[in-house]
Amino acid sequence: MSQKKDKRQQAKWEKRYIDKKTAWDRGEASPALEKTLSKLPKPPSKVLVPACGRGYEVVSFAALGFEVTGVDFAPSAIHDLKHRLSHRNLVATLIDTDLFVWEPSESFDVIYEQTALCALTPDLWSEYARRLHHWLRPGGVLVGMFMQTNRDGGPPWHVSLTALQDLFPEALWSWSDNLNEVIEHPSGLQERFITLKRRD
């Protein structure tokens, strides 16, 4: 992705936050978080929330004692999240940058991927999946919520099970058995909820 395109994309998402056109925003942490906790390494494990937006899950992980990092390139979303953390006297690492140029200094134990993939155009999915694998330590857990729109176009883009199996092949990932589990979204759509573990 060129630097010029990066800036256009950043401006587009920032404008949506400013205009409050954020239908994906629940206003609270997803119920998937509570369902996931028993499958995750215990605090203070390192958690990454890519494209964290206003970061309700970042706040939840921080409150539970995890060492959490949130990344988003919409400055107003990061600003709101900083305020929310400060109000509760919580600490998290917040990074305002593009996920396609960011290189963390260390790997994570958990990545909580909540509908970031479906916000990207499908031509970027393979590179994003490669980055998720790179950011996660061997044996680390990837929690994914992938939007099910059952229609063409986006965002959000429909992420089929076939597409997910191509992006996260069993040679690299150990899949959970909850392939048909879905999380209802306030928009009326559903999110396919899958837990994967990075193979060594």
Map out the domains of the chain as residue ranges: 49-105, 107-200
Q: How many CB atoms lie within 10 A of CB 20?
A: 8
Instruction: Summarize pLDDT for 26-60 with one digit per residue, the tens.
Output: 778 888 899 999 999 999 999 999 999 889 999 99
Instruction: Summarize pLDDT for 94-151 with one digit per residue, the tens.
Output: 999 999 999 999 999 999 998 899 989 999 999 999 999 999 999 999 999 999 999 9
Record the pTM. 0.90
Average pLDDT, integer, range 179-197: 88
The radius of gyration computed from the CA coordinates of the chain, to the nearest angstrom, equals 16
Instruction: Summarize pLDDT for 156-171 with one digit per residue, the tens.
Output: 999 999 999 999 999 9
Whether the Cβ atoms of residue 150 and residue 161 lie closer than 8 Å to each other: no
Q: What fold does the segment set 107-200 form as a domain?
A: Rossmann fold (3.40.50)
